[in-house]
Amino acid sequence: MRLTVLGSGTVSPSATRTSASYWVESGGVRLLIDCGAGTLHRMATFGVDWFGTTHIALSHFHADHWGELPAFLFAQRWGADTPRTGKLSLFGPRGLKPRIQALAQAFGQWILSPGFPIEIVEIEPLERHELGPGTFLECHRTRHTDESVAYSITDNDGRMVYTGDTGPSDDLAIWARGCDLLLSECSLPDDRAIDTHLTPAQAGRLARTADAGRLVLTHFYPPVEAVDPVARAAAEFEREVIAASDGDIFVIDGKR
């Protein structure tokens, strides 16, 4: 399994970080997790096969996590030399279907009938979906919005967990237990902690409780980058800690 960080930032404008988006390759699966502003251009910059996307999974409905979805679908319809024919499966928490209907009202009915098969799935916590032979997607509720979820992707090589946006949660850590890579939001410095986001120390504690193989920090608001988030997280988690940058690539191979 291979993870490419497309966007490690937030809604705050940044010269180096775009909004949340992550690309996972596993066998024939090409999964885009979240689709914030800048996703399409980052795909082009980093050589990602955007037209070959097989699945999209949205963690919640804040603009920095799904705001570029209409443009992404528009690109799938009109942005390549040849029309897309393969099915695109779109996963998200409850509320996804009425929001897609609302997008169709705003942008046109092509959203629902883009010229290729589109599947819209409202995934429930702990449901397991096989995306391709041996590659599975599962989600867990998080402390952020009423509908927000984290995602787990598992294949024969290993397991990665993406927290999405979340506050501290022992339940989330237990569900993520044993993952090879924990991709954790790290929004705010410890002295600005709130219930619905993680600080570096909280992300480190989450990784420790989850017994993760590696901790990759992402979703940085500017103030957290001024406090050395890796050092703060590493004080709580003794294994490898990395601060993600747009374009970083990680291989998940089960080696801890």
What residues does each domain of the chain span?
A: 2-251
Residue 133 has pLDDT above 90, yes or no: yes
Going by C-alpha positions, the residue among 17, 32, 53, 24 that lies closest to residue 217 is: 17
In this prediction, residue 184 carries a pLDDT of: 98
171 CB-near residues (< 8 Å, 6+ apart): 140
Give the pLDDT of residue 254.
77
The CA distance from 199 to 186, in Å, is 5
pLDDT tens digit string along 208-220? 999 999 999 999 9
Q: What percent of the chain has pLDDT over 90?
A: 98
Question: Which whole-number Å values give the CA distances from 213 to 159, 179, 238, 255, in the listed order?
Answer: 10, 6, 10, 8
Is the CB of residue 254 less than 8 Å from the CB of residue 157? Answer: yes
127 pLDDT higher than 90 = yes
With a cut of 70, say whether residue 179 has pLDDT above it: yes
Per-residue pLDDT band at 255 (split at 50, 70, 90): confident
pLDDT number for residue 168: 97
Give pLDDT tens digits for 77-110: 999 999 899 999 999 999 999 999 999 999 999 9
CA distances from 29 to 116, 137, 196 (A): 17, 11, 31
8 Å CB contact between 236 and 205: yes
List, for residues 145-173, the tens digit of each pLDDT value: 999 999 999 999 999 999 999 999 999 99
The mean pLDDT of 177-182, rounded to a whole number, is 98
| pLDDT tens track for 33-78 | 999 999 999 999 999 999 999 999 999 999 999 999 999 999 999 9
Q: Is residue 132 over pLDDT 80?
A: yes
Distance CA 52, CA 87 (A): 10
Give me the pLDDT at residue 256, please. 64
pLDDT number for residue 99: 98
CA distance linking residue 207 with residue 214, whole number of Å: 8
CATH number, span 2-251: 3.60.15.10
d(CA 183, CA 3): 10
If 0-12 CB within 10 Å is exposed, 13-18 middle and 19+ buried, where does residue 48 land?
Answer: buried
Q: Largest Cα–Cα distance in the chain?
A: 52
Please give the pLDDT value at position 144. 96
Helix axes 69-78, 96-107, angle to 10 degrees: 60
Dist. CA 10–CA 221, nearest whole Å: 6
What are the distances in angstroms from CA 39 to CA 59, 90, 99? 15, 16, 20
